[in-house]
Chains A and B, each alone.
Chain A
């Protein structure tokens, strides 16, 4: 199944990104051992110069991971014609056990990469790089994540066998042949809506509190992660059916298609951006006490929290609008 251009591209990218990160990890180990900002030695100078390379490499690596997340979903969508029972991307991800883990890991890498880049940008604004050791230690934690993702993705694609015509088609219809599951399991709609509303109120309140008092940055990030998870569950169990105007159609990917007005982009882009920025607040806020970062933290955190809140608001408004404007009416059935 490897001779499909999109699959080739995905494997190529994960390979290249992994080697970029390994390069960065090698450098991180060197830096953790020898970094001494007060020294003027040649080695220290070399390390300082290297940090530019590593920042650039990682910015590109994480950008590529983001595009590959998109491509992964598009590709699953495009391959749905090749598997019995798979009607859209959901079915293709269900073909074997590695599809969903790969997707979730890609999302996790996106968020850890975004947080790392925000931390990196903050650190670069302090003249003495106060967070440099922490930053590269965190980087060493991201590398295994990317390695596992590459492995899982490779395994997923290697084990994809499209159901094509063989010389004896009868074999496909033997008693134990079965297609893949075309649907995802969904939470009960009432529970999902309550969860969505509660998490929305909580995350917005935490953000506003941080904006006012400059306290509770990490809490905001944590709540944002929670809200993100609940929002994904709610998209599957409630919002998508309303967009499709079909109570049994739960696919979280079909809403990205033109047939549904690309509604998914209006949900996913704000949601992902809001969560990434909220995580940014969480990694930036605790460093206010460092003198060289004082101004940068105050400035950066308030900008991040404003953006994040705006995006969360946009997401909840969009979700509410899709439910409100849908021709589907579930009063008395779901609630």
Chain B
């Protein structure tokens, strides 16, 4: 109990002394919070994006099979579906039709896709909400495409895609198979790729191996691989931003060092008096430690809170283009907040730890000064 009371009095004293030097400490707090804010924004944003990707991809097919021609993705003939034959573990297989379409009117690429399960008439489409926003159209309006042969085709917008999947469906146009084949010039008997469903994840790799043996000119892409790649890429992008921010952290370290070592004559006298009235070196060190801890905690909370607001309520407007990739049709979406120990510990090492390391030596130098040396 005695120890606790001692720390409480010490804290009391330090808070009062921090408040006495408002300007200096506020400046430090501001810079400190800014560093935490930047790092935490990057972190919260990428983690939330990663999670979103994972959730969305959960619904995608386990294996995508693409044909490769001269090292490039090419259309896959329909009879490959038969050539695959019976593979133990594959529960469903079907050909998909999709492609891109450049719309000069809004200078953006759409993703066209055939969605048989939506039972669209040949003159109907379903569009993503970003397209609707940019072109200013809604259900019942018409969307006109210039087809591959130069003809113009008009489609009636039947409905808009739900906005909760907007991260992926922003630029999506769903149409019927016939409309797709006619407007994009993909002849009967060809698909863009083939998708296979596999219920046991342990069998995926064996099935992929069999596929490459049976159809040597194809490449199978596993959902796990896509997830792995996204995971690595997001970590990598985050890492790049952190490297760029290292300069800022270094500047902050120098700033903190400077603040801690450049004590004013008044502060020096204060420490001299404290030592003269009986404080030991250890007490002064402890006081300075608490001072740093209070500042760090405040800066950490403030920075983290601001970053949270920035990412989850302002869509991370500062870092969005770098972390998300860039496109003309920006999806507008709300991310689900994710906070975990990994983030907090990493953030701690990028902000609090450098601060502590930078201030240890100056603090020690201050605390060992002799009272008579400063009061003389």
Contact = CB atoms under 8 A, between A and B. Distances in A.
Interface string B337-348: 000111001101
A168 interface: yes
Contacts of A78: 340, 342
Interface stretch (B16-24, B124-132, B219-227): B219-227
Contacts of B239: 2-5, 7-8
Contact of B345 (A74, A79, A179): A74
Contacts of A84: 205, 224, 228
B225 A163 contact: yes
A180 interface: no
A77 to B, nearest CB: 7
Interface stretch (A53-61, A134-142, A215-223, A235-243): A53-61
Interface in A55-89: 56-57, 60, 64, 67-68, 70-71, 74-75, 77-79, 81-84
Contacts of A165: 221, 225-226, 228-229
Interface stretch (B26-34, B295-303, B359-367): B359-367
B349 A13 contact: yes
Interface residues of B, number: 48
A52 interface: yes
B368 A49 contact: yes
Given A16-B353, A53-B364, A74-B340, A5 B346 contact: yes
Given A6-B346, A172-B225, A56 B364 contact: yes
B52 interface: no
B346 A60 contact: no
The secondary structure that dominates the A interface is helix
A213 interface: no
Chain A interface size, as a band, is 35 or more
Contacts, number: 125
Interface stretch (B79-87, B149-157, B230-238): B230-238
A164 B224 CA distance: 10
Chain A CB within 10 Å — which of B219, B238, B281, B342 has the most? B342
A164 B353 contact: no
A78 B341 CA distance: 10
Given A52-B367, A168-B219, A74 B43 contact: no
B221 A169 contact: yes
Chain A CB within 10 Å — which of B227, B231, B232, B367 has the most? B232
Contacts of B209: 173, 175
Contacts of A70: 341, 345
Contact of A56 (B232, B341, B360): B360
A278 to B, nearest CB: 22
11 contacts: A4-B239, A5-B238, A20-B357, A60-B356, A64-B349, A78-B340, A84-B224, A164-B225, A165-B225, A169-B221, A173-B208
Q: Closest 7 A-B residue pairs measured CB to CB?
A: A3-B239, A9-B349, A74-B342, A71-B345, A53-B364, A173-B209, A164-B229
Interface of A: 2-10, 12-13, 16, 20, 49, 52-53, 56-57, 60, 64, 67-68, 70-71, 74-75, 77-79, 81-84, 124, 162-165, 167-170, 172-173, 175, 179
Interface of B: 43, 68, 71, 205, 208-209, 212, 219-222, 224-229, 231-233, 235-236, 238-240, 242-243, 281-282, 285, 289, 340-342, 345-346, 348-350, 353, 356-357, 360-361, 363-364, 367-368
